[in-house]
Structure 1
Amino acid sequence: MDTDGKPLATRIATGVGKILFSLRTKKLPEQMLLRSNQGSARKVLLLKVGAIGDILMTTPLVRKLSKAGYAVDYAVGVFSHPILVGNPHLRELIVFDDNLIYGKQKSIIENLKLIKKIRHNNYDLILVLDKSWMAGIYAWFCSVFKKTLRIGFDRQGEGFANNVSIPYLQNKHDSLSYLDLAIPLEAVYDEKNKENWKMDIFLKPEDRKFAKRFFQQLHLSKQTIGIVVGGGKNPGQSFNLKIWSKERYAELIGQLIQKYDVLLLGGPSDKEDAEFVMQAAQEQTAQTAMKRKTKHKLHKLVSAVGETSIHQSIALMERCKKIVCSDSGPMHMAATVNENIISIFGPTDPNVYAPLHKKSRYIWKEDCACYTIFGTHTTCTPGMIDKTQAEDVLKALR
């Protein structure tokens, strides 16, 4: 691995790939635009293996293509596919095992089945939403000897298998980078217009009824602060460096419940952290009361961690006054329904990932990101995100 974080295997693959794919038609971008304008390129597949937050950041692109008249299908890993269920801008979801393309346990037979299914659908276009050269190769297998054209990212040479490549520089928010893939189709956007970059989630009426009933039964106020503990866990990857510690959350909540109702949110893998946070926060407030020799009435501290579906959790986020979270999937989930997000960053760059709403705030104590454009983080320091103190978050909440 070099100083820029680019893995050696990627360097080798990029060099070899450029040579092997150097004979492709150079005038393909112009041909593609011509076909698109004539209305012939209308059946589109989006291909992505990714965490929930990554998938959500592609939904503005889904909406853009659908409104431009394209029939949009999405091939997505099973872990994140629920976030796309109910999206009216999608015609079909092709759901596959997350381990197929990048996983350690790759099944040749299952990969061939997926490739065969995609090829059978005879897409006019495949948009490769992953940045890795492996995704580009996979899309090539899904379209070789067909008229299907492939648009994807070029991350320092990794786009060699694409017919049309859009440079990925990680110099803007990822939602906007995904929208850039539609530019060759003349689907332009205004990044200042919220209607272009807002992420989509489609809740069912029963999800919102659940959240309303939850708040009513537990007597949670409209001023309730939602706290997302944990996060950063995805198939094949656990990135704890970007998650604020449970000790910091406990310290924050211990002060918050003196003024606000607090609702803990998270998935099944976060239950242990949530239990620690609840106990530690309650002990902290009890000790504070003893020192002050007061019996200050505390507000409610309630946990829904691990007790809800993804859509029910998002519906709860919608009813909270504000949400506090680390850079994780739930941060993006919250941003689909709530504009008041306080996000805590460490190794990653908030300019690339933080919610774009004007009311949202992020806290970042670093000068630059140690999480590289290639997803490597060997230079990151354990505990770096805990440079952010509870008081920093309290100030942002005021």
Structure 2
Amino acid sequence: MPIVLYAMNLIIIAYLFSAFACFESALTVYRLNRPARLNRLYAALAASFSIYSIIMIQLFLSSGESASWLWYRVIAIMACLLSMLGVRFVLELTGIKALTNNKVFLAALYLLPAAIALPAVTFSPVISGFVMMPWGRDMVMKISGWAVWFHSYLMVNNFACIVLALRWRCTAATVREKKQAGILIFTLSIWGVGLVHLLFPPVYPDAMKQALAHLFNVFCFAVFMAWIRYAILKYKLMTISPVHPASELFNGMSEALFVTNTGGDIIFMNENAGALAWRSGKAADAGTIFALFPSAELLKKEIEDMIFGRQTRQPVITMAGGKAAGTTFEISILGIKNETGTLIGLMVIVRAAGGARELQEMYRLSVREMEVFILLSSGLSAPEIAQECDIALLTAKTHIHNIYQKTGLRNRVELSNLLNRYL
């Protein structure tokens, strides 16, 4: 009898721990950066883990057959929901814009769990019934075509997440992102191992095997949450920054404000900066300040000059891409130093240069010509402009010729003076 009570307490306590830990993780990550879609998706995923754990406890403690079947149906629906949320979270994290911005794909992703779960909770359940275990009523898995299909759906989703994480690691631009991807691959692989046993259910339920399966289930939840938390603290996963009075102050600024390290990795951004990242189409890739603007080399040179104490050309004038294409911005970079005078970070302030639009309209410059105009006035040569804009050298020279013709100016100094008059 003591062993029976011990087993019952162990399984239920494990699921209670899982419920509280997952709920705490959901709440913490959501509060870190409420407006971020990635944080909201993670919060929904973690909260679903918590609900799943509570429902499992309800199944164990159910009083009769009808109540057990009710909780089984909820569990089947939650399993499909968890799988779908996992895929959606990894898609958002890895920045596959072709899929995350595709409404048809997202509709299919959201509807597929319902199509998979509906037969499993009605005419073709994936269990044959229930059996009394030391911790209460538990499910007896069934070997059938639909059961294999149901469990295969969960495993395919997990495998897809691993593939997306591997792709993210291979294409990551920074060491930090590679570390984040490595942690995600590790946690998803453990989860995949936990799903394999579903394809080989025991014909005769064994208390020890069932107990180990439940404990491994909880272990997977715990590992996933713990390693995601480690990635947040160690590698700034999801570019999360705590909400505190200073962030409230920065959010009150009319300009977009980014705080970065000396390598340009974004540590903090206020609400206007987040909106700018979204409009530029780089919200998911905004790990560095250079990803947000086409003129990355100009920004890198400014930061390099600041680090080595050389004279800088401020502000930097550049144009954005994505939904903000054609908008000219004025970027000011301020150094953040420690008590020894060493540069340890940067405060990057971005404001719209409204006069540039007036200049563009007056001289009837195209968006590309305006971009070349800004780079030309910043001192870049034709080959450098071609590389910066990712265009052919001949195309760059044609744009430069058109700019001189339309403005009636003769050299870069005159172009720079004209730009400064409008900004």
Which bin holds the TM-score, normalised by the shorter protein?
under 0.3
Higher-Rg structure is 2
Q: Which has the higher contact order (CA 8 A, sep 6+)?
A: 1
More strand as a share of residues? 1
Give TM-score, length-normalised by structure 2: 0.23
Give TM-score, length-normalised by structure 1: 0.24
More helix as a share of residues? 2
